[in-house]
Chain A
Amino acid sequence: MSVSFTVNGRKRSVEAEADKPLLWVLREDLDMPGTKFGCGAGLCGACTVHLDGDAVRSCQTPIADAAGKQVTTIEGVAMNETGKRVVAAWTALDVPQCGYCQAGQIMSATALLKQNPKPTPDDIDGWMSGNICRCATYLRIRAAIRQAAGLPAEIADASALPAVGAAGEQLA
């Protein structure tokens, strides 16, 4: 079927099977590989995008469901103010390790801050628990969301670098 929708403000049209997930339309048909394939079952959050402003798992979104809608992906998330702040905080705090999940993390975090601009620690953990980070950058994810929200990022590692040599004794 032919499906038309908007991606990051640009009108796009594709020919695809109606059940082909938005994830694979983005990656294969529109050459936008920023949205990542992790589980194909809506369990890991790596493929998170915004559909008409809501965070959805693009691996579980048949392309037919995107017809006529606004899709925002990692490639375009910084076009809005909240997304820009989230991306800036992610960069400033050097959040990624392997980085593979981080597109999905940023998309989820941006959706969180849009509907809850000053989240509590429990709000952050609750909202972000749908996104797996296999490298476990969770402490920096929490800190980056707080920084993007203009909240004190008091997580230890955001403010303090390791005390190299603080407790060491020289061994011959």
Chain B
Amino acid sequence: MTGTAALSRRSFLVASVAGSAVLSLDATVVLAATSPTAAADVLNAFVRIHADNTVTIGAKNPEIGQGVKVMLPMLIAEEMDLAWDQVHIVQTDADEKLYGVQTAGGSTATPRNWLPMRQVGAAAREMLVMAAAARWGVDPATLTTANGAVLQASTGKSATYASLAKDAARQTPPDPAKVKLKDPAAFKIIGTPKPGVDVPKIVKGEPLYGIDTRVPGMVHGAVVKCPAHGGTVASFDDAAVKAIPGVLGVVAVNSGFVPEGRNDTLVIVADSWWKASKAREKLAVKWDDAAVTGFSTAGYEADAAKLVAGSPQTSVFKVGDPDAALAKAAKVITADYEYPFLAHASLEPQNCTGLFRDGKLELWAPSQSPANGRADTAKFCGLSPDDLTIHLTRIGGGFGRRLLNDYMVIAGQVAKAMPGKPVKVLFDRTDDFRHDFYRPAGWHRLTAGLGSDGELLAFKDHFATFGTDGKPVRAAQMAPGEYPAPVVANVDLGVSYMATNLATGWLRAPSSNAMAFVFQSFLDEVAEAAGLDLPELMRRTLGAPRELPGERAKFHTGRARGVIDAVCKSAGWNGRQKGRGFGFYFSHLGYFAEIVDITMADGAVKVNKVWVAGDIGAHIINPLNALNQAHGCVIEGLGQAMIGQKIVQEAGAITAENFGDFALMRIDAAPAEIAVEFVKTDFPPTGLGEPALPPVIPALANAIYSLTGKRHRRLPLEVI
């Protein structure tokens, strides 16, 4: 471990009226240089030791189904030497000054917290040991801990953590950077299956989610938003709406999309959401949207075709002389690939509950990024960020949608307009589809040149996407290290931008979910031209195990090779075989290789089985949840590819109304089997919410090619 620890050496204990004790550790830790965040990260873990020797552990990150509410407390409990059945997990509020970063995004929770959360647990354990040593007048080195107790083997003495908690709090807290961590061989909790902490409540229908928030006296808001993104309210007539008994009023707000001083959203507030929702048809609105109604899917497609045929506006990576190399190549392969805008379609529609009183705003927010939500909401409400209290609810699906906080910004302004009245703002499904932050579409013209021996000599891509002033819109970036760029001598990754009025955003495995399809499908074409299969082309281009530099993370060719070999072995891959396809991708620090097995019936694809091999480091912290995440990634990727998912835009507005227009994968299309294998390597563990998704898409497209001979170069694949 490297780095220095600047400590706020503060520890205190409070005896509560219930006879419990609070042991609070507050530490500022600089993460090890191996961490992908690599910058100073503030954390504070909250541990409460109760009189009955149960221990409450605060789970700081938003839970969107990725299992973080169990995973982070596992790290603390492990190093504290607790028995898992002693542990009681509670969701903390949003407070980054107290808890450190609280974001559910980028598969970052594991790499960011692996060390600091364990340090918090280990520091707490050390203070309990010191307390026992002082009480017994013995050398702390003679003491051990297990199952929430300190023990001295030679004398048989033991004391529960509960009996030591008050003394422990008077100990000088250790330096978290120097505290002794367990030898992984001694792990008892990390690496063992732990079920979801909220499952017993979920199966009983107990309130957990943002939409379930109930505050006494609460009223409800339904939204009316300008259909064309970026349009604003010119005028509205709410007389007919206000005449409905139970309707309290209409509030005009800015969801954060449009310049300050303009509004793009009207919220009808009533004593029932059903009533508010129904009242929307009586609201007459004139929109100022002339500047944004010209945008359409058809327009983008026509513009993209012109763009990719010309020269790139800019280049994100260039090396060697690709044009000269192509002129000398024995074979040149070229192909165009494209993919559409996508919605997130989390099953819990966007919502947030707010209460403004005495100049302070309290929010119940299903947000993946509450710190950003705090800043944005404060700005649009004209409040100081410190005036906001944010309670984190369980979240009915994130997928990146809730990294952007329009629902908080809206609810905050409505609450502020109705002081003293708690108000829950809820989108309906159509609002949710039509006012998302979409995965941006993209168009690629790819060219590869092979030498007479099949060596990949040159590689070019011209990527047409969305941007302004020479910069991509959110989630439209192409990384300079997009494989195979780092291993080819002559490369040009060029980009051209066009305008859109749509707000774009991160969809699970952002950028990677599209790039994997484009690059791994095209490399399957290149491999065939070289007389190889894709795993073999990958092995040859990866070369010897080594680290390649990357913009955000280094890419280890040996780890890539490890998962490629593992998945080929488990699936019995023996070269090109009808109905089998392969894909590899590295994203979010995880290496994944996947093989898809399909058959076709009546022109439709049936996925029989998917093999997954992943390398996310030395430990799978919670294997029970890890399987669930891998399954979810695979099926979501298949859903993006094979059931027609595409967001269509006309006259500036999104056409999708409900799940009939934008399908989600259903159980009858899910594979019968997904075989997941984790390849363990001696690297710190990293996240699993995303990296298993990207490779399944090219694996499916390549499987269809192997079976039918038809190369699909556009998502969604035309197979339904």
A135 touches B397 (CB 8 A): yes
Contact B347 A125 (CB under 8 A): no
Query: With contacts A43-B660, A142-B667, A164-B623 known, is A171 near B632, CB below 8 A?
Result: no
With A34-B206, A134-B346, A138-B635 known as contacts, the answer to whether A171 contacts B428 (CB < 8 A) is no
Partner of A41 from the list B274, B658, B679 (CB cut-off 8 Å) is B658
Among B346, B426, B558, B667, point to the contact of A141 (Cβ < 8 A): B667
Q: In the bound complex, do residue A138 and residue B65 qualify as a contact, i.e. CB atoms below 8 Å apart? A: no
Is the Cβ of B627 less than 8 Å from the Cβ of A170?
Answer: no
A5 at the interface (CB under 8 A from B): no
A125-170 contacts to B (CB < 8 Å): 125-126, 128-142, 155-157, 161-170
In the complex, the answer to whether B680 meets A74 with C-beta atoms within 8 Å is no
Residue A18 lies at the interface, judged by CB distance under 8 Å to chain B: no
Q: Tell me whether B64 and A98 are in contact (CB under 8 A).
A: yes
Residues of A within 8 A of B569 (CB): 167
B193 contacts partner chain A, Cβ-Cβ < 8 Å: yes
Expressed in whole angstroms, the Cα–Cα distance for A28 and B681 within the complex equals 52
- A25's nearest neighbour on chain B, judged by CB, is B274
Q: Contact flags (1/0) for B386-401 with A, using CB distance below 8 Å?
A: 0000000011111100
- Are B396 and A94 in touch, CB under 8 angstroms? no
Question: Would you call B136 an interface residue if the criterion is a C-beta within 8 Å of the partner chain's C-beta atoms?
Answer: no
A24 to B203: give the CA distance in the assembly, Å: 20
Per-residue A-contact encoding for B607-639, CB less than 8 Å = 1, 0 else: 000000101000110011111110110111001
- Report yes or no: A36 in contact with B666, Cβ–Cβ below 8 A: no
Contact of B199 among A78, A94, A164 (CB under 8 A): A94
**Given known contacts A156-B673, A164-B620, A171 and B659 CB-to-CB distance under 8 angstroms:** no
Size class of B's contact patch? 35 or more
B566 at the interface (CB under 8 A from A): yes
* Residue from A20, A99, A170 within 8 A of B65 (CB atoms): A99
Known contacts: A136-B639, A136-B665, A171-B558. The answer to whether A164 contacts B397 by CB under 8 A is no
Task: Provide the A19-60 mask, 1 if CB < 8 A to any CB of B, else 0.
Answer: 011001000100111111111110110100000000000000
By the criterion CB–CB under 8 Å, are A91 and B659 in contact? no
**A142, B397: Cα distance in complex, Å:** 21
Contact B659 A132 (CB under 8 A): yes
- CB contact list, B130-169 vs A, under 8 A: none
Contacting A at CB under 8 A, from B257-289, are: 272-275
- In the docked arrangement, what's the CA distance between A78 and B191, Å? 32
Chain B residue at smallest Cβ distance from A125: B668
Per the bound structure, the CA–CA distance linking A172 and B615 in Å amounts to 15
Q: Which residues 656-695 in B have Cβ within 8 Å of A in the complex? A: 658-660, 664-668, 670-683
Quick check: A132 and B64 within 8 Å, CB to CB? no
Cα A126 to Cα B191 with chains together (Å): 36
A136 touches which of B203, B670, B675 (Cβ 8 Å)? B670
Q: Hey, which chain A residues are within 8 Å of B624, CB to CB?
A: 94, 161
Say yes or no for B429: interface residue by CB 8 A criterion: yes
Instruction: Say if the beta carbon of A102 comes within 8 Å of chain B.
Output: yes
CB distance from B267 to the nearest CB of A (A): 17
Smallest Cβ distance from B680 to chain A, in angstroms? 4
Q: Chain A interface mostly helix, strand, loop or mixed?
A: loop
Task: Please tell me if B211 contacts chain A, counting CB pairs below 8 Å.
Answer: yes
A103 at the interface (CB under 8 A from B): yes
Instruction: Give min CB distance, A21 to chain B, whole Å.
Output: 7
CB-nearest residue of chain B to A90: B203
A117 within 8 A of B: no
Docked Cα-Cα span, A73 to B204, in Å, equals 9
B211 lies within 8 A of A37 (CB):
yes
Chain B residues lying within 8 Å of A46, measured Cβ to Cβ, are 347
Residues of A within 8 A of B676 (CB): 157, 162
- Across the interface, which residues of A come within 8 angstroms of B399, CB to CB? 134
Cβ-based interface call for A75 (8 A): yes
- B451 interface hit (Cβ, 8 Å): no
Instruction: Check B196–A94 contact: CB distance below 8 A.
Output: yes
* A111 at the B interface (CB under 8 A): no
Are B211 and A33 in contact, CB atoms less than 8 angstroms apart? Answer: yes
CB distance from B235 to the nearest CB of A (A): 29
Asked whether, in the complex, the Cβ of B636 is within 8 Å of the Cβ of A136, the reply is: yes
Q: Which of A38, A91, A162 contacts B677 (CB under 8 A)? A: A162
- Let me know if B204 and A135 touch, CB within 8 A: no
A34-B193 contact given A99-B65, A165-B680, CB 8 Å threshold: no
Task: Report yes or no: A162 in contact with B678, Cβ–Cβ below 8 A.
Answer: yes
| Min distance, Cβ A162 to any Cβ of chain B, angstroms | 5
The residue in chain B whose Cβ has the minimal distance to the Cβ of A169 is B562
Are A33 and B659 CB-contacts (below 8 A) given A131-B667, A162-B676, A164-B678?
no
Please pick, from A75, A78, A141, A164, the residue contacting B680 in the complex, using a CB distance under 8 A. Answer: A164
Complex-state Cα separation, A138 to B412, whole angstroms: 37
Complex CA gap A125/B206 in Å reads 27
List the A side residues contacting B398 at CB < 8 Å. 98
Given contacts A38-B429, A44-B347, A98-B347, contact A171 B202 (CB under 8 A): no
When distances are taken between beta carbons in the complex, the residues of chain B under 8 Å from A138 are 631, 635, 665, 667, 670
By a CB distance below 8 angstroms, the chain A residues around B665 are 136, 138
Contact between chains at A98 and B199 (CB < 8 Å): no
CB distance from A98 to the nearest CB of B (A): 3
Chain B residues near A38: list those with CB within 8 A: 347-349, 429
Contact with B along A90-133 (1 / 0, CB 8 A): 11001111111111001000000000000001001110111111
Interface string of B193-209 (1 = CB under 8 A from A): 10110111011111111
Query: Is A168 a contact partner of B667 (Cβ separation < 8 A)?
Result: no
Is B575 interfacial (CB-CB < 8 Å)?
A: no
Would you list which residues of chain B between 40 and 55 have a CB under 8 Å from chain A? none
B345 at the interface (CB under 8 A from A): yes
Closest CB-CB distance, B176 to chain A, in whole Å?
28
Contact of A87 with B by CB under 8 A: yes
Q: Which residues of B contact A101 (CB under 8 A)?
A: 347
Kindly state the separation between the CA atoms of A44 and B628 in the bound complex, as whole angstroms: 21
Q: Which residues of B contact A142 (CB under 8 A)?
A: 667
B233 CB to closest chain A CB (Å) equals 25
Q: Are B397 and A98 in contact (CB-based, < 8 A)?
A: yes
Contact A43 B632 (CB under 8 A): no
Cross-chain contact B632 with A24 (CB below 8 angstroms)? no
CB neighbors of B among A55-101 (8 A): 73-75, 78, 87, 90-91, 94-101
Q: Which of B537-584 contact A (CB under 8 A)?
A: 545, 556, 558-559, 562, 565-566, 569-570
Identify B679's interface contact among A129, A134, A135, A167, CB under 8 A: A167
CA distance A99 to B395 in the complex (A): 9
Give the distance to chain B from A159, nearest Cβ to Cβ, in Å. 11
Give chain A residues whose Cβ lies under 8 Å from the Cβ of B347: 36, 38, 44, 46, 98, 100-101, 132-134
Query: Do the beta carbons of B658 and A43 come within 8 Å of each other?
Result: yes
A sample of 18 cross-chain residue pairs with beta-carbon separation below 8 angstroms, ordered by A number, consists of: A28-B220, A35-B205, A37-B211, A38-B429, A91-B199, A98-B347, A98-B396, A102-B203, A126-B668, A134-B346, A134-B399, A136-B634, A162-B627, A164-B678, A169-B562, A169-B679, A171-B559, A171-B681
Identify the 6 closest CB pairs spanning chains A and B, nearest first.
A34-B205, A98-B65, A100-B396, A74-B205, A136-B635, A165-B680
If A33-B214, A75-B205 are given as contacts, then 11 extra A-B residue pairs at C-beta distance below 8 Å, sorted by A number, are A28-B274, A96-B196, A98-B65, A102-B203, A125-B668, A134-B397, A161-B624, A163-B677, A163-B678, A167-B562, A168-B566
Q: Which residues of A contact B (CB under 8 A)?
A: 17, 20-21, 24, 28, 31-41, 43-44, 46, 73-75, 78, 87, 90-91, 94-103, 106, 121, 124-126, 128-142, 155-157, 161-172
